Amino acid sequence: MVDFEIDNLIHAGVVFIVYLFVAIVLYFSLGGPVDAVLNGVWSSGNQTVAASYMDSYMPNIKWGVNVAFALGIAFPVTWFIFWVFSRDPFQGMVPR
């Protein structure tokens, strides 16, 4: 089994920047269509009994979708910060 542990700060930074770019592009490309679908579901049943339930729960569902996108960006950012500060600052020999 191949182990792909990243031990170089520059390599980790490049991977992080690429991931962040992809996550932001996904948010801006999928955020609009997901919001349009949720708005379509929300406005489709205005004359039914379920309309009151949809008025109650749809803002929470939209909030949950936005939180899912935000956590998709926040977890790797947190991992990168903790990974950078968990490194030992000096790994050489101590002079006498």
pLDDT value of position 25: 92
* Prediction pTM value: 0.66
What's the N-to-C CA distance of the chain in angstroms?
Answer: 42
Residues 6/15, Cβ–Cβ less than 8 Å:
yes
Cβ neighbours of residue 6 closer than 8 Å, sequence gap 6 or more: 12, 15
E strand map for 1-96: none
* Mean pLDDT of all residues in 8-18: 85
Task: Give per-residue pLDDT as tens, 20-72.
Answer: 999 889 889 988 888 888 888 777 656 666 677 777 888 888 899 889 989 98
Q: Give CA separation, 32 vs 15, 29, 49, 70, in Å.
A: 26, 7, 28, 15
